[in-house]
């Protein structure tokens, strides 16, 4: 059986790379992935024996059943891209101006298609169902997971896993944490409302730029002086928009950013304190503000039992030294929604390679992966899913 699986895995390796490169060259933004969804459906139809449904928008679900009843194990891959102009210079670089697969979602979907190809040829050897979840819109709140769940994608699922290619981790390495895996992430927006005027008569205006700068500076103190040092948290300002002329003090300034944390109490504190800081500083300078805070994705929490099964499988496949239990990471992930429906495990698959110069961060215009990571991902997915089916 193991030799047969190895031959099937070897047979799909080059196809997975080709699929990934095709999707990389034809990226689509969140919730607009019509051609990518059609590509996924066409590939599943070619594999054969997979019941295909469209639970929400551009998402796709495939159901692959074994030769007898058993548990249902789901595996998720996302497939949306980002509004970034690619600068890799790769022969498979984006052909859609201003849109790029800069987070590895093209690889995630290619790996899941490869996994489906292999498992479809093994359906006579396992009991139960493999649920293939192709998620749309992961990069853009509210994400695609909620809609898929509401559309029935997770109905009857006993466990769910997901893999994420991770460029800070060297190819060949894997990161599986038995509990906290990724942080919750939220977004905030502050509109400072001052009084516009002439730059030469600042005393007649209420300058929202100067006030906004005070807000940005004071937000840096929130984590450093307002949160227990043993609790991980991030408050980051990523947008500041104001003014259109060098001679005009504008009437408004807009500040936006994101937050990350693990503890629900810290989340509550951050939401409250950002608003208090903004309102207080505005009031001190004669301005007002509108403040909004949106909770986006919850913490990704791995189920210890599911994570243990996946980790054991990974160590058997790749060796103990290549499977790491690292600290959780601060970015957020929509996979958390699936994990709230069934016991879950999220795995980071090393995709960077310093020797090859593949070191760019996720969401960078130069982002790429070492494509050897794709084979590692398919290999782990196939074997972990079979192990989880046996466990029940």
List pLDDT tens digits, range 174-186: 999 999 999 999 9
Q: What pLDDT was estimated at residue 41? A: 98
What's the helix, strand, coil split of the chain in %, to 5? 40, 30, 35
Mean pLDDT of 244-262: 97
Give burial (CB, 10 Å; 0-12/13-18/19+) of 162. buried
Q: What pLDDT was estimated at residue 325? A: 87
Q: What pLDDT was estimated at residue 3? A: 83
Query: Catalytic positions, please?
Result: 80, 138
List pLDDT tens digits, range 21-54: 999 999 999 999 999 999 999 999 999 999 999 9
- Angstrom CA distances, 281 to 107, 250, 278, 290, stand at 46, 18, 5, 13
Mean pLDDT of the chain: 96
pLDDT band at 392 (very low <50, low <70, confident <90, very high): confident
Mean pLDDT of 60-79: 97
Measured distance CA(276)–CA(212) in Å, rounded: 14
Q: What pLDDT was estimated at residue 391? A: 87
pLDDT band at 359 (very low <50, low <70, confident <90, very high): very high
Task: Mark residue 152 as left, alpha or beta (left: phi above 0; alpha: psi -120 to 50; beta: remaining).
Answer: left
Q: What pLDDT was estimated at residue 327? A: 86
Q: What pLDDT was estimated at residue 77? A: 98
Measured distance CA(137)–CA(276) in Å, rounded: 32
Mean pLDDT of 357-370: 97
390 or 1: which carries more pLDDT confidence?
Answer: 390
336 Cβ contact partners less than 8 Å away, ≥ 6 residues apart: 145, 182, 184, 297, 298, 299, 300, 301
Measured distance CA(285)–CA(207) in Å, rounded: 9
Is the pLDDT at 1 greater than 60? The verdict is no
pLDDT band at 269 (very low <50, low <70, confident <90, very high): very high
Question: Which of 1-5, 98-102, 189-193, 264-268 is predicted least confidently?
Answer: 1-5
385 Cβ contact partners less than 8 Å away, ≥ 6 residues apart: 73, 75, 115, 119, 130, 161
Contact criterion met (CB below 8 Å) for 380 and 362: no
Give burial (CB, 10 Å; 0-12/13-18/19+) of 230. exposed
Handedness of CA 281, 283, 287, 291 (dihedral sign): positive
List pLDDT tens digits, range 75-96: 999 999 999 999 999 999 999 9
Residue holding tokens 């790996």?
111
Mean pLDDT of 142-151: 97
Q: Would you list the DSSP string of 128-157?
A: EEEEEEEES-TTSTT-SHHHHHHTTTTTT-
305 Cβ contact partners less than 8 Å away, ≥ 6 residues apart: 343
List pLDDT tens digits, range 272-306: 999 999 999 999 999 999 999 999 999 999 999 99
Which phi and psi angles does 302 have, rounded to 5°?
-80, 140
Measured distance CA(114)–CA(283) in Å, rounded: 58
Percent of the chain past pLDDT 90, that is, above it, reads 97
Give burial (CB, 10 Å; 0-12/13-18/19+) of 319. exposed
pLDDT band at 326 (very low <50, low <70, confident <90, very high): confident
Contact criterion met (CB below 8 Å) for 100 and 86: yes
H or E stretch at 237: strand 233-242
pLDDT band at 2 (very low <50, low <70, confident <90, very high): confident
Give me the torsion for CA of 384, 386, 390, 392, rounded to 10°.
70
């Amino acid at each position: 059986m193991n030799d047969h699986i190895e031959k099937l895995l070897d047979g799909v390796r080059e196809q997975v790379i080709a699929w990934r490169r095709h999707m990389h060259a034809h990226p689509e933004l969140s919730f607009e992935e019509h051609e990518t969804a059609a590509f996924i459906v066409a590939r599943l139809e070619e594999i054969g024996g997979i019941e295909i449904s469209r639970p929400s928008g551009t998402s796709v679900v495939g159901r692959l059943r074994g030769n007898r009843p058993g548990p249902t194990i789901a595996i998720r891959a996302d497939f949306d891209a980002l509004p970034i102009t690619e600068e890799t210079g790769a022969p498979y670089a984006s052909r859609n101006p201003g849109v790029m697969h800069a987070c590895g979602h093209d690889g995630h979907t290619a790996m899941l298609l490869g996994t489906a190809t292999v498992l479809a040829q093994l359906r006579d050897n396992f009991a139960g169902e493999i649920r293939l979840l192709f998620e749309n819109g992961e990069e853009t709140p509210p994400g695609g997971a909620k809609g898929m769940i509401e559309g029935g994608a997770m109905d009857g699922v006993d466990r769910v896993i997901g893999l994420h290619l991770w460029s800070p981790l060297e190819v060949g390495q894997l990161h599986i944490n038995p509990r906290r895996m990724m942080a919750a992430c939220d977004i905030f927006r502050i509109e400072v409302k001052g009084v516009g005027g002439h730059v030469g008569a600042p005393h007649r205006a209420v300058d929202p730029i100067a006030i906004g700068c005070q807000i940005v500076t004071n937000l840096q103190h929130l984590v450093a002086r307002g949160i227990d040092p043993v609790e991980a948290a991030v408050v980051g300002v990523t947008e500041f928009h104001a003014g259109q002329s060098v001679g005009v003090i504008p009437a408004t300034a807009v500040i936006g950013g994101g937050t990350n944390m693990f503890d629900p109490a810290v989340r509550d504190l951050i939401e409250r304190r950002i608003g208090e800081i903004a309102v207080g500083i505005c009031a001190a300078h004669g301005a007002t503000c509108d403040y909004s805070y949106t909770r986006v994705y919850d913490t990704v929490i791995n189920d210890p039992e599911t994570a243990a099964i996946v980790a054991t499988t990974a160590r058997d496949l790749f060796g103990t030294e290549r499977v790491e239990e690292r600290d959780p990471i601060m970015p957020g992930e929509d996979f958390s929604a699936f994990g709230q429906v069934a016991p879950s495990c999220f795995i980071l698959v090393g995709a960077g390679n310093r020797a090859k110069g593949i070191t760019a961060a996720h969401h960078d215009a130069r982002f790429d992966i070492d494509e050897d990571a794709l084979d590692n991902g398919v290999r782990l997915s196939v074997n972990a899913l079979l192990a989880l089916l046996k466990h029940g």
